[in-house]
Structure 1
Amino acid sequence: MVLERGKSTTECDILTEGEKVEQIKEFVYISSLLTNYGKHDGDIERRVNAGNKVNGALLANMSSKGVSRQAPLSVHKEVVISTLTYGSEIWVWYKKNESKINAVEMRSLRSMCGVKLG
């Protein structure tokens, strides 16, 4: 992968054992999406989707009457938040991305506490 600046694209011919190595525009490394243009929008979108999936998977268990009030909050903090923010240390935070992350977090808290909108 070649890191680009602007809209230009650079083609590189890299050979290993006589075969050309494929040049790519993005790949996942240690669960973070890296792109040739260096933006984190795709990675943030992946995290938002993962947070929604985790929330959905946990919802049935956490909204059960037999679960203490503190358990859903602990699970939210340890599972949902860590899923949402894994790799966020390298992100450049924009308002639109922050609001997406916050929306998943609030949806998780509402569903685990049994609060409905509207």
Structure 2
Amino acid sequence: MVALPLHTRRYHARKYDQAQLLVGVLAKRIGREAPVGWLTRTRETQRQVGLSETERANNMADAFTASSMVKGREVLLVDDVFTTGATARAAAVALRGAGATRVEVLTVARAFSLA
């Protein structure tokens, strides 16, 4: 189980990473490992609020790097909110690029608009 990470700067401003907190509790409950550092946000991105789906995808492109520790593993990627999927997709691409055999995404909430 891998949390979708915040950029270091945002983490230091907030003092917590909600996805990592979720992963920690969930992993403990079901007896799985939740290693930190298997996925990092290597590029600071702008906030996604107000961006179109295309802008979100461009904003997230190449924003993540995955550790070689994922090679040959199935990974459950955990985040708090899924909106367009741009962030999860970019993270999954990094994980697969580092050798993860499968990436599934679990989120607590799904955001959508009626407009």
Q: TM-score, normalised by structure 1?
A: 0.29
Give the number of the structure whose alpha-carbon radius of gyration is greater: 1
Q: Which has the higher contact order (CA 8 A, sep 6+)?
A: 2
